[in-house]
Homo-oligomer: A and B are copies of this chain.
Amino acid sequence: MKQIQKLNCACLVALALIGVVATASAQDPLPSWNDGSAKQAIVHFVQTTTESGSADFVPPEGRIATFDQDGTLWVEKPMYAQVMFCLDRVPAVVAAKPELKNVEPFKTVLSGDREAIAKLLMKDLEKVLVATLTGMTTDQFQSEVKKWLATARDPRWHRSYTDLTYQPMQEVLKYLRANGYRTYIVTGGGQDFVRVYAEQTYGIAPEQVVGTIGGTSYGYDKYGKPILTKEPKLLLNDDNAGKPQGIHLMIGRRPYAAFGNSTGDRQMLEYTKAGGGARLAMLVLHDDATREYAYGPAQGLPDSKVGTFTQELYQEAQQKGWIVIHMKSDWKRIFSFEP
């Protein structure tokens, strides 16, 4: 009898524990976040905009959340993945057009001299971008990007670039979608580039990727099949003021939540917060040199050409209720591959 009682007790304790675990996981959609004001702000925003009867309830059709990509959803250091793709493609471009071999900036890129490449000016880089991102069909471009992603590895973790997404942000994407939000990427990167992997990497469909947009031309291949060719014509530079413009162009509604990490995201956050009701604006601050990178120059962090987060932006965030996510203290883990 005592034995049975003991067993029953053990069972009850076990059941209770299972209950606790189940409840805890149901209650915590953001397990990679440390408890703190950033995590609380996200949970509060979702609850207040989706619980029926809430004063700030947002009907499902209006639930739009926008995310910058580089530095917000995945690593952008030492250089944007798309720029790495463009540099890696230079040999193939020069093989097809040998006259470029001794022309700058192609000559420097071909030299493989990392220091010299890092010193290339924006106008040099633009020549590389035009040569490697245009002049082919949209189908050819897509297959080039796929091929590159399959083999390219980043210089620090030696992993596929698509492994370097932030686990806490992946949780935010899923949490928002589970609550009826449509999640969009709004990136300064090329729309066609990001669309190749966004669905598999973030669960974000091509039509929900807003990026820098180049023109295409419609024509026919030698078999008479219609093709779209990527042209060196910029329709939208989806950075800074281009982000609200891109949101209007591609979505046609103001987001309720927006996430960024640099001065290029300022206007997107401003535009988002200018709507009525509860709106969430967040900025990731990279202050963790050990687990990822540390750069600002806000808060005395080292300056950066890539993903600049100025002290002015930090102050504006404080003034306007944009919430700064401190990577070091807010994120329990950064990558899904961490033990």
Contacts and interface: CB of A to CB of B under 8 A. Distances in A.
Copies of this chain per assembly: 2
A225 B216 CA distance: 35
A248 interface: yes
A144 interface: no
Q: How large is the interface on A (under 10, 10 to 19, 20 to 34, 35 or more residues)?
A: 20 to 34
Contacts of A248: 138, 216, 228
Query: Which of the listed residues A138, A207, A225, A235 has the most CB atoms from chain B within 10 Å of its own CB?
Result: A207
Contacts of A195: 252
B253 A207 contact: yes
B191 A218 contact: no
Given A195-B252, A235-B236, A236-B235, A245 B226 contact: no
Nearest to A271: B226
Contacts of A235: 235-236, 249
A209 interface: yes
A263 interface: no
Nearest to A215: B245
Contacts of A209: 252
A250 interface: yes
Interface string A88-125: 00000000000000000000000000000000000000
Contact of A226 (B138, B252, B267): B267
A241 interface: yes
Interface string A113-142: 000000000000000000000000010000
A270 interface: yes
B252 A191 contact: yes
Contacts of A260: none
A207 B274 contact: no
Given A207-B251, A249-B213, A241 B270 contact: no
A275 to B, nearest CB: 10
Interface string A241-261: 100110011111100000000
B244 A228 contact: yes
A244 B226 contact: yes
Contact of A274 (B182, B191, B217, B225): B225
A267 B218 contact: yes
Interface in A175-210: 182, 191-192, 195, 199, 205-207, 209
Query: Which A-B residue pairs are the 7 nearest by beta carbons?
Result: A206-B252, A218-B241, A207-B251, A195-B252, A226-B274, A226-B271, A216-B245
